[in-house]
């Protein structure tokens, strides 16, 4: 994409987002725009980042046989009253009457509607295990806090499993847990796994995936050893029980939460299947990942004085191309890179903005590599690639296109 | 995908969706589930169809340089009061107070928030033309009607253009119009283009893309000649002014609507740019396509006694594979097709359901072609492909894989 065509709605941080590095960088780089207290618009680069995160999550959900669906965000009160959560969520859920005078709400989570969708369609052990998921907007009337970290509208992946026994649930729960580990590794986010209190969802067991960060809404003690991933809410523990390292305390960010729900929802919603000895209750699990929250979590962990440092899987563009002057050979090569690597992968800084500004903007946005076309190219015919995290490499053009095109 | 793994939540039509062929088929084939008055859940097949439609639209928006963004569905009243539409939409828009006591709503359309996003970022003629679009949920507190045709939550593509003059708007409007024609051709939907009343959006000119159908919320007279596409709201006209054919009256379905908005929104929202002679108002256009409504429109136009007849671009699977018996060679070939054409493209009817039921379900769901593996394959080594619209072809395996894999 040519930089002159890309809409980048940059802004300075404002009062409500100040002191939060992720919000400051997301606003200054034009990734998002602050549309009001607790709501943000995603710009073209922000939408790309959001889609890249969702694609990684989707790929791993599909790989374990979960099927993507899309349930209405708008819900009638009835099933929420049946489960007892209409009252429980009061104040936290946007609720209103529709023109026919019926109570409706914006779903904060979808255990009830999912159970409703599956009821009568899962009639035997053979129909299970079944896992369904969706990726999309959720709404919660929280007090906005910490910029992008706590908002009134956000995007989540929420998955639900339906199982014929506790053992079958354990198996799916482990598969989801493994998938989460793979997802977070691929997204390049640092995290710990914390035994958590499942009571918020009424389940029997749960674990949180928490990202250590300077800001956040949660606290944990975690093991700083690479790849250990142990975390705990028991602040009396001082040493990691898995590797012995001294635990570190942090204001961490919840990235994901997986729950064994047991029959908490199938009981009140009458979700049953037939066995030889009569009807049994379906055993449920639910599994969430904050898609939009991954953005501030990654920025909090991956930034320097120049801006954001996206991992490759997430970056809005793979490469920037910066010609240092208007020499014909240089411009030809810049155009060739733009066309062959592809306009959707390349951010091409054409035009007569000062070189320093181009470099600074590419680094602020967080593009993982810059191809710099100047004297090195004219004299040696080599392409200079400067990586966002500091490295530098030189490529013959053919070698470059083999690597990137 | 193996049929035994695919979650297909079939149901019979109910009172509120009876008499509407598209709703009946969408429910019976398990494409959607009726989650309450005016809300529907999309099943795994329904989600695939929705994504396929969105992908075609996205491809054509990107091709004309429109950039994808994502704005919050949740909006504060303030900018809607500025434009005067807070009062205008009353009753039709879901509106409520948040916990801080501020009026909020679910956006029915995004002219105001888009103008707000662009303000101060489009400061000169050189920043334009700019076109932004998004694909996602919209909410409108309509009385539910005609199954999937009028719902309280639905999915739309909405695009907005920002221009420095009426002439520049005309140019983008024509590009959008051409893109719409290409999109509807590719989606295999029959439609007419109707000069419409732009007053609903306060614009200066608009055209609707209307699909002739037995049910719908609109009426038009249209030219039945192939590829003519003329439609009118003037029921006194009897002959097509473009080709002379006698016009036909229909309860048609609105698929898209494109508007020249002029300064209707940039005036009250103060969306200006600098010129040598001072500030001028930005000239806007807006361009919508009903993504989820395309599903009932296509089903209304493309069905027979056996079920839905999806066009290839939209179908949830390209192929069904139906082995007629458990012969080892047959099963091997079925597995090979499933693996090589790909589990995301193939619906593989394994298992011991009756053959007739497998055929009937594949046709009801609307898969465009069935590969039938029986004696023809064992005796001649040929794959029999039966197309949903009636044709039949035989392929050598190598030839088949060249075509489909």
Q: Do the Cβ atoms of B117 and A74 come within 8 Å?
A: no
| pLDDT value at B16 more than 80 | no
What ipTM score was computed for the predicted complex, to two decimals? Answer: 0.96
Q: Which residues of B touch A3 (CB under 8 A)?
A: none
CA angle A116, A69, B140 (to 5 degrees): 80
Inter-chain CB proximity B137 and A136 less than 8 Å: yes
B369-385: per-residue pLDDT in tens?
Answer: 999 999 999 999 999 99
Closest Cα of chain A to B210: distance in Å? 26
Residues of B in contact with A36 (CB under 8 A): 72, 75-76, 78
Mean per-residue pLDDT, B338-362: 95
Domains for chain A: give ranges and CATH numbers. 15-304 (3.30.930.10), 317-404 (3.40.50.800)
Does residue B18 register a pLDDT over 80? no
In chain B, the percentage of residues whose pLDDT exceeds 90 is 88
Q: How far apart are CA B210 and CA B222, in angstroms?
A: 9
CA distances from A49 to A21, A42, A342 (A): 18, 9, 17
Q: What is the DSSP string of B260-324?
A: EEETTTTTTTT-EEEETTEEEEPEEEEEEEETTTHHHHHHHHSEETTEE---TTT-S-SEEEEES
What would the pLDDT profile of A286-339 be if each residue is shown by its tens digit? 999 999 999 999 999 999 999 999 999 999 999 999 999 999 999 999 999 999
Distance separating alpha carbons of residues B216 and B233, to the nearest angstrom: 15
Q: Name the residue among B35, B100, B118 with its Cβ closest to that of A71.
A: B35
Residue B41 vs residues B73, B296, B301: alpha-carbon distances, Å: 19, 14, 22
Side-chain half-sphere of A64: how many Cα atoms within 13 Å? 24
User: What are the C-alpha distances in Å from A268 to residues A80, B41, B404?
Assistant: 10, 21, 47
Residues A130-168: pLDDT tens digits? 999 999 999 999 999 899 999 999 999 999 999 999 999
- Mutation target to probe the B interface, by most B beta carbons within 10 A, among A27, A39, A62, A158 is A39
Residue A319: alpha-carbon gap to chain centroid: 22
Which of A35, A67, A73 is nearest residue B44 as measured by Cβ atoms?
A: A67
- Quote the CA–CA distance of A306 and A300 in Å, as a whole number: 13
Interface-testing mutation among B3, B28, B41, with chain A (most A C-beta atoms within 10 A):
B41
Closest by Cβ to A69, choosing from B41, B91, B121: B41
pLDDT at A234: 87
> How does pLDDT run across B281-307, given as a tens digit for each residue?
999 999 999 999 999 999 999 999 999
Closest by Cβ to B141, choosing from A5, A65, A98: A98
Subunit contact A118:B9, Cβ cutoff 8 A = yes
Rounded to the nearest angstrom, the minimum Cα separation between B44 and chain A is 5
pLDDT at B268: 96
- DSSP structure string for A277-299: TEEEEPEEEEEEEETTTHHHHHH
Look at the pTM and tell me if it is higher than 0.90.
yes
Confidence of residue A204 (pLDDT cuts 50, 70, 90): confident
Q: Chain B: residue nearest A11 by CA?
A: B121
Task: Convert the pLDDT of each residue in B230-248 to its tens digit.
Answer: 999 888 889 999 999 999 9
∠ CA A135-A211-A131, rounded to 5°: 30
Q: What is the pLDDT of residues B183-236, one digit of tens each?
A: 999 999 999 999 988 777 778 889 999 999 988 878 999 999 988 999 998 888
DSSP state of B145: B
Among the listed ranges A66-70, A76-80, A88-92, B274-278, which one has the minimum average pLDDT value? Answer: A88-92
Sequence-distant (6+) residues with CB within 8 A of A167 are none
**What is residue A252's three-state secondary structure?**
strand
Query: Chain B residue with minimal CA distance to A91?
Result: B99
Q: Do A67 and B35 touch (CB under 8 A)?
A: no
User: CA of B68 to nearest chain A CA: how many angstroms apart?
Assistant: 6
| Residue B145 confidence (pLDDT) above 90 | no
Is B98 close to A152, i.e. CB distance below 8 A?
yes
Give the pLDDT of residue B267. 96
Residues in chain A closer than 8 A to B158 (CB atoms): none
pLDDT at B7 over 90: yes
Q: What is the pLDDT of residues B84-104, one digit of tens each?
A: 999 998 889 999 999 999 999
């Amino acid at each position: 994409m040519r930089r002159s065509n890309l809409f980048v709605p940059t802004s300075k941080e404002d009062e409500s987002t100040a002191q939060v590095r992720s919000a400051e960088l997301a606003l200054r780089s034009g990734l998002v725009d602050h549309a009001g207290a607790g709501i943000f618009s995603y710009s073209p680069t922000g939408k790309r980042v959001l889609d890249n995160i969702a694609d990684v999550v989707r790929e791993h959900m599909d790989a374990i046989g979960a099927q993507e669906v899309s349930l209405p965000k708008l819900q009638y009160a009835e099933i929420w009253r049946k489960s007892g959560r209409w009252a429980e969520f009061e104040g936290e859920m946007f609720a209103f009457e529709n023109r026919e005078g019926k109570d409706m709400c914006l779903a904060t989570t979808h255990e009830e509607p999912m159970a409703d969708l599956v009821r009568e369609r899962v009639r035997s052990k053979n129909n299970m295990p079944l896992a369904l998921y969706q990726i999309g907007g959720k709404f919660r009337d929280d007090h906005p806090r910490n910029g992008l970290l706590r908002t009134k509208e956000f995007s989540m992946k929420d998955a639900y499993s339906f199982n014929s026994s506790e053992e079958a649930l354990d198996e799916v729960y482990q598969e989801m847990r493994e998938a989460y580990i793979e997802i977070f590794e691929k997204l390049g986010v640092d995290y710990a796994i914390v035994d958590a209190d499942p009571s918020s969802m009424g389940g029997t067991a749960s674990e949180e995936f928490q990202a250590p960060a300077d800001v956040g809404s949660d606290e944990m003690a975690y093991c700083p050893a690479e790849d250990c991933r142990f975390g705990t809410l028991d602040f009396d523990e001082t040493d990691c029980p898995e590797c012995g390292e001294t635990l570190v305390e942090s204001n961490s960010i919840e990235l994901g939460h997986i729950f064994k729900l047991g029959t908490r929802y199938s009981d009140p919603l009458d979700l049953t299947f037939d066995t030889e000895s009569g009807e049994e209750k379906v055993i449920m699990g639910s599994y969430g990942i904050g898609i939009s929250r991954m953005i501030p979590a990654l920025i909090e962990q991956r930034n320097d004085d120049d801006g954001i440092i996206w991992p490759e899987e997430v970056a809005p563009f793979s490469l920037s191309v910066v010609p240092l002057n208007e020499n014909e050979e240089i411009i030809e090569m810049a155009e060739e890179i733009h066309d062959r690597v592809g306009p959707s992968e390349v951010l091409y800084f054409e035009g007569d903005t000062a070189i320093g500004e181009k470099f600074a903007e590419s680094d602020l946005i967080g593009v993982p590599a810059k191809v710099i076309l100047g004297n090195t190219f004219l004299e040696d015919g080599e392409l200079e690639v400067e990586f966002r995290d500091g490295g530098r490499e030189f490529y013959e053009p053919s070698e470059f296109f083999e690597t990137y095109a």
